[in-house]
Amino acid sequence: MAKRVEGVTEKLLECAREEFLEKGYENASLRTIAQRAGSSKGAIYIRYPDKASLFSALVDEAANGIALLLKKIQEEFTELPGEVQADRVQQMSDEGISIFIDYIYKHFVEFKLLCCSSEPGFYSNFIHRLVNIDVDTTMRFIGNSSNNAVSSGRLTPNFAHLLSESFYTGMFEIVVHDMPREEGDIYIRRLRKFFAAGWMTILNDEESAG
């Protein structure tokens, strides 16, 4: 039984990465990828059923990984006693955010591909997975608490969705702009403060407060 030549898959993925980064998903050419890798188009099709799958192979692990990570962080928040949850505006702890940023920088190229080189819709799908996790936790948290943000209409699910999306899009600016780690750290932490402050204006019942 013929075996896959060792290293071919890796070489193909590496060259695919370069090609996608340089030209974007649509304009990347499988022919060129195969050539760069010193391999053949057929070799790609043995491994991946089509162009989209090849792209996914480069990106899925990181995309799944960060979604899982976020889920875990959020679950840790959910498991906190109610009183502690109520004291926090951000669902990610300081430690949680650190791990999150770590993860992004550890898979920087993959997220670069996702942010800058994927087919239209692919990136937003990715963001939405994160957003859904985030919003789930948020809505559950508010539902469990006595906060009237939802019941008062200050917060709709759709609205929560958009705020979250804005936050995560903001986060991935560090990738889009190739921000060095240190700068990214500072930037994301400030972003959290931004959004913490923002959430305050929603969670707090200003009307009745005024």
Locus of tokens 């590496």: 14
22 near DNA (CB under 7 A): no
Token pair for residue 190?
A: 């400030």
Quickly list DSSP for 88-106.
-S-SS-HHHHHHHHHHHHH
Q: Which is nearer to DNA, 33 or 175 (CB)?
A: 33
Residues 117-146 that bind a copy of itself (CB under 8 A): 117, 120, 124
CA–CA separation, 12 and 48 (whole Å): 11
Contacted by 140, from DNA, a copy of itself, none: CB < 5 to 8 Å by type: none
Stretch that binds DNA, among 21-29, 110-118, 137-145, 171-179 (CB under 7 A): 21-29
35 near a copy of itself (CB under 8 A): no
- Of 176, 91, 165, 92, the C-alpha closest to 130 is 165
31 near a copy of itself (CB under 8 A): no
Q: Which is nearer to a copy of itself, 68 or 197 (CB)?
A: 197
CA atoms within 13 A of residue 21's CA, in its CB half-sphere = 16
Residues 154-173 that bind a copy of itself (CB under 8 A): 156, 158-159, 161-163, 165-166, 169-170, 173
CA–CA separation, 140 and 11 (whole Å): 45
CA–CA separation, 11 and 95 (whole Å): 36
Q: Which is nearer to a copy of itself, 50 or 75 (CB)?
A: 50
- Of 41, 31, 32, the C-alpha closest to 8 is 41
Q: Which is nearer to DNA, 35 or 169 (CB)?
A: 35
H-helix segments, 28-121: 30-36, 41-47, 51-78, 82-87, 94-106, 108-116
Contacted by 8, from a copy of itself, DNA, none: CB < 5 to 8 Å by type: DNA
Which chain residues interact with DNA by CB under 7 A?
A: 1-5, 8-9, 27-32, 39-43, 45-47, 49-52
Which chain residues interact with a copy of itself by CB under 8 A?
A: 2, 24, 26-27, 42, 116-117, 120, 124, 156, 158-159, 161-163, 165-166, 169-170, 173-174, 176-177, 179, 183, 186-187, 190-191, 193-195, 197-198, 200-202
